[in-house]
Every structure is written in C-alpha cells, then in structure tokens.
Amino acid sequence: MKISSVLARAACALLLSGAVAAPLALAATPGEVPVGAVLRDATMQGLSGATQQLSAFKGKPLLINVWASWCGPCLEEIASIEHLSQRYGGKQFNVIGISTDDYWTNAKGFLQKTRISFPNFIDNRLALENMLGANRLPLTILVDAQGRVLSKVYGAQAWDSPESLAMISKAFKVKL
C-alpha cells in the first residue's frame, strides 16, 4: 500500500471520528428540558429545609443555581447569588440552589462554609441534574412564573453585577 493511501485513510478516519465525537460533546442530558419549554414537576430533597415539589415555586419567577461542593467556580459565584437573594429574593423572584453532590455531608459542609440562606436541595439521584441540563457546573437557570425555562447560564457569574441584574430584570420583566 502506498504511503499517500495510508495517509488519506488516516485523515479520513480522523475526520469521521471528529464528526462523531463533536455531537456527543454537545449532547443534552437525558430528559433535559430545553430553553422555552416548561419544567416538569419533581420532588426536591431538602438540604437546608423541608423536601418540596418544584411546582411549589410556580407563580413567581425563579432563579435555580445548580452546584457541587467540589466545584471551584461554584464556590466562586455563590456569594453573589447569596447577595442577590438577600436583596431581591422572595420579593420579585425566588432563588433556590440544587446540589449535585453524591453525599449529604459534602453538600451540608459547603452550605455551612458559605453561609447560604436561600433554600437548597440535593439531587444525588440525577433526576434534577438531567432535567435541568447540568452537564457542566455551575449552571444557573432563569424560569418564569409559569415554569418555562427562559435562560441557562453555564459557568461562574457575578450575579449581583449591573450586567447580571439587567439580564435578570429583562428575563423576569421586573424592575431591579
């Protein structure tokens, strides 16, 4: 076999493997609710309070922050979410957190370390993580009063910054 033929086959194999791998890297989580769709109801195991249904938060816009105790960027942004919750939470919109930790003790330790006051839940069975599309952390989801997903923001943000407040104000149609 000629070297040019071997190189051509190798190049073709690389192209094909890239074509197959690329969609997998961007694949949705199983049962993910996309932006524009309404979240399904789910039982959320209380981490800093009682177990609740996700539907208990309908009727007012909702900011959901998905985090894990081992996630550095989650720790980086959590103070800004706490500040946002202290300033606006419960008034014009609600704020909740969902830990994807496997162990309650790790998640509880994170809450104690960060002194978070807004309600937090744990999802150690992947139901919420998959439904919300949390294949990367942190993930913050803006949900309207009817439960429709308005936006998904991956990565750490300064949620109390003027830019984030403007985004939240526009998404929730509230004045902050």
CA 66 – CA 114 distance, rounded (Å): 15
Strands 139-143 and 120-122, by their bridges, are unpaired
What pLDDT does residue 28 have? 84
| Distance (Å) of CA 138 to CA 6, 11, 64, 69 | 44, 37, 10, 11
CA 172 – CA 175 distance, rounded (Å): 9
CA dihedral 133, 99, 90, 141 (to 10 degrees): -20
Cis status of the peptide bond prior to 138, with omega within 30 of 0: yes
pTM, two decimal places: 0.84
Q: Residue 8: count other Cβ atoms within 10 Å of its Cβ.
A: 11
Confidence band for 27, pLDDT divided at 50, 70 and 90: low
Residue 95 near residue 21 (C-beta atoms within 8 A): no
- 35-89 pLDDT tens trace: 999 999 999 999 998 999 999 999 999 999 999 999 999 999 999 999 999 999 8
Q: Does domain 32-172 have CATH number 3.90.550.10?
A: no
